[in-house]
Amino acid sequence: MHIETVKDRAGPREFSPTDDLPEKYREAATRMIEFHANSEIMGAYLERPFIRQAPSIDRKLAFSAKVQDEIGHGQLLYRAAESLGVKTRKEMLDDLANGDGKFLNCFHYPMEGWPETAMIAFFVDGAAMRRQATLRRTSWEPYAHAMDKVCFEEGFHVKHGEDILATLMSGSRKEQQKTQEAFETWWPRIIQFFGPTDDQSKHHDFAADVGLKQKSNDELRTAFLNQYIPKAQQYGLEIPDEPRIRKNDEGDYEVVEDDLDWAEFFTIAKNEYEPGVGQIEGRNAAQEAVEWVRETIDGTDVPSGGQTPQAAD
């Protein structure tokens, strides 16, 4: 099947592993879904320490469930990417551990205090929901099916983050101040969540033509700002002076792109940002720590009945 056929096919553009697709489509879809899967895993690693640091047993349980969800999302997405036949799940996990796998800019930065959890669980996950909701109509069928479950669970994550933010902003003056400081630190990173502007995006045109992406980076960023600036203000957060955000003639919020540090963003995209390198090294160490488990499983003979020797006994 030629790529022109993919673009011009009538009706909903949905493709499955049984379809004869151009290699360019398979590679583009693999790159996009692998990036998403990597981001789910690295987001979980970033939040995992806060299971113990959470201020109450309820928060610990909620954070534990959230981290578990994110790891599960990653596994679902690796399988969806693997079904394209370009890379195996193991190859993608190895690339992530070795520093070759790319992931979301926000998860390259360290988190140091509890107020920062609201920045991820509410704002970053909220931004993710803006994108992920559109991906339920993506053209790669296994990806779209995975997104049904991912979006359902991410909706709970956003509500969890909103509850954390509401609690912090109705707490002591010190809690409110630290939350505002965290917001000012994370706000530019959150705005960059959606990636470079449309004119700088290398992969958008093709991904949009073949139905992998449903909205452009700029469209998603504007929709997020329209929804989340009022939400931030509702909880008493002050929008930082920079990057400057203005309303256009249509009444939509727009960011002054020159106020964002795109040089740092593209350094992050190459896995060359120092804190992000530390995140990757942590992932690599964790993967090496359980290598013996994979080796043991690989070396176990499974009887024809499908049970392990231990289960058969």
Q: What CATH number has the domain bearing residue 213?
A: 1.20.1260.10
* Locus of tokens 């996950």: 125
Domains contained in the chain, number:
1
- Crossing angle (nearest 10°) for helices 89-98 and 274-289: 130
Residue written as token pair 């350094």:
267
Alpha carbon distances (Å) from 269 to 35, 54, 115, 264: 11, 31, 26, 9
Instruction: Give the pLDDT confidence of 239-281 residue by residue, as tens digits.
Output: 999 999 999 999 999 999 889 999 999 999 899 888 778 788 8
Q: Which domain, by its residues, includes 127? A: 11-241
Residue 134 lies in a domain: yes
pLDDT(190) > 90 = yes
Task: Determine the pLDDT at residue 202.
Answer: 79
Query: Measuring CA to CA, which residue among 34, 39, 181 is closest to residue 105?
Result: 39
Confidence (pLDDT) at 275: 77
Residue 127 lies in a domain: yes
Q: Is 269 within a domain?
A: no
Report yes or no on 142 lying in a domain: yes
Task: Report CA-CA distances (Å) from 87 to 25, 206, 256.
Answer: 14, 20, 38
Q: Is 236 left (phi over 0), alpha (psi -120 to 50) or beta?
A: left
Closest CA to 309 of 300, 24, 178: 300
Q: For 287-291, what is the mean pLDDT?
A: 81
d(CA 190, CA 220): 12
Q: What is the pLDDT of residue 106?
A: 94
Q: What is the pLDDT of residue 6?
A: 47
**Worst-scoring range by mean pLDDT, 62-66, 165-169, 256-260?**
256-260
Can you give 188-241 as a three-state secondary structure string? HHHHHHHCCCHHHCCCHHHHHHCCCCCCCHHHHHHHHHHHHHHHHHHCCCCCCC
**Mean pLDDT of the 124-139 span:** 95
Specify the amino acid at residue 205.
Answer: D
Q: Say if CB 211 and CB 138 are below 8 A apart.
A: yes
Q: What is the mean pLDDT of residues 57-82?
A: 96
pLDDT at 108 over 70: yes
Domain membership flag for residue 272: no
Mean pLDDT of 296-307: 62
Confidence of residue 9 (pLDDT cuts 50, 70, 90): very low
